[in-house]
Chains A and B, each alone.
Chain A
Amino acid sequence: MIVLDAIDHGLLTALARDARHSASALGKVFGLSQPATWRRIKRLEQAGVIGGRRLRLDAEKLGFGVTVFLGIKLATKGRVSLEDFERAVSAIPEVQTVEHVLGRYDYRLRVVARDLPDFERVLRRRIMTLPGAGEVEANVLLSEERLAGPL
């Protein structure tokens, strides 16, 4: 496993905030040359610590006023394959994330919609008709903050 020092932590935190910082701009912040900074970022990418990049958009300004988290319990375990359920649920455009979990539910979904009537449409037409979907619990997201984590 990759071992990181304080500078790597700083680079990761800075890149998580803004991945478009150039290696030379970041190098200045951390007292490194541009090639040294670039080598460190490459190393983080190669070790899989940087798992890709994400464009952050303001969902509300784009007309998506509602985010709902759904807990889904499969009704007919064993009869419907998990792969079938996962393939079908992942293909729904309004479903942003799908997590397989252990506990009260089998899957946890993050769903966006324009408003509550739009969410109801997604729920009735897309989610309730998924192969094997059983009990569904919905929680409407009110606020969300992401923290830097243990770096």
Chain B
Amino acid sequence: MLDDVDRRLLRYWQAEPSLSPGDLADRCGMSAGKAARRLARMEENGVVQGVGVVINWAALGYAVEVSLRVTLDKTQGNAFDLFIVAARKVPGVIEIQTFLGRVDLRLSIIARDMAHYQQIYRRDILSLPHIADIEALMHVARIKTDETLPL
């Protein structure tokens, strides 16, 4: 189990993911060795999964991002599996989420411009299996993106 010291380490690390174990030890006022041992343990037991860079797709020319909220035809027993397997192959799909609620699934799609999006939507998305309904939300701006946990 985690204690308050572990959570404090994670709070600092979440806020500044590029901090080294030594930096984190300084922030928490503990020895580098102690911090390193705690961090290693949290990585071993899977609490810490890693640090990754966030790719800014807009800087690579992908100006359009659309959330497609999909309802599936659930009379088909394996509709979810077949849809997801096919959706993974669509270029531009960067996220697939499944839900309990009004919609079954959501795809995050990036495209260079509206013409490119239109092409992906018509050619690749509408041909995905077992779709009952699709609704699109077009991204205007990201207001908060840190995805931190309230530890």
Contact = CB atoms under 8 A, between A and B. Distances in A.
A15 B52 contact: yes
A17 B54 CA distance: 9
A112 B97 contact: no
Contact of B92 (A64, A89, A150): A150
Given A1-B61, A97-B145, A112-B149, A51 B95 contact: no
A51 B140 contact: no
Given A102-B137, A112-B149, A142-B98, A53 B52 contact: yes
Interface hub of B103, B138, B145 (most chain A Cβ within 10 A): B145
B12 to A, nearest CB: 10
Contact of B144 (A51, A52, A90): A90
Interface in A14-42: 15-20
Given A90-B144, A144-B97, A58 B46 contact: yes
A16 B60 contact: no
Given A58-B46, A61-B45, A139-B103, A49 B142 contact: no
B102 A55 contact: no
Contacts of A86: 143
B118 interface: no
A96 B147 contact: yes
A53 B51 contact: yes
A71 to B, nearest CB: 8
Give the interface size class of chain A.
Answer: 35 or more
Contacts of B94: 146-147, 149
B13 A61 contact: no
Nearest to B20: A20
B102 A137 contact: yes
A6 interface: no
A102 B138 contact: yes
Contacts of B139: 99-101
A79 interface: no
B98 to A, nearest CB: 5
30 contacts: A1-B60, A16-B52, A16-B55, A19-B50, A48-B56, A49-B59, A49-B60, A50-B53, A50-B54, A51-B53, A55-B17, A57-B10, A57-B14, A61-B47, A69-B106, A71-B137, A90-B143, A95-B144, A96-B148, A99-B139, A100-B141, A103-B138, A137-B102, A139-B100, A139-B102, A141-B97, A144-B96, A144-B97, A147-B95, A149-B55
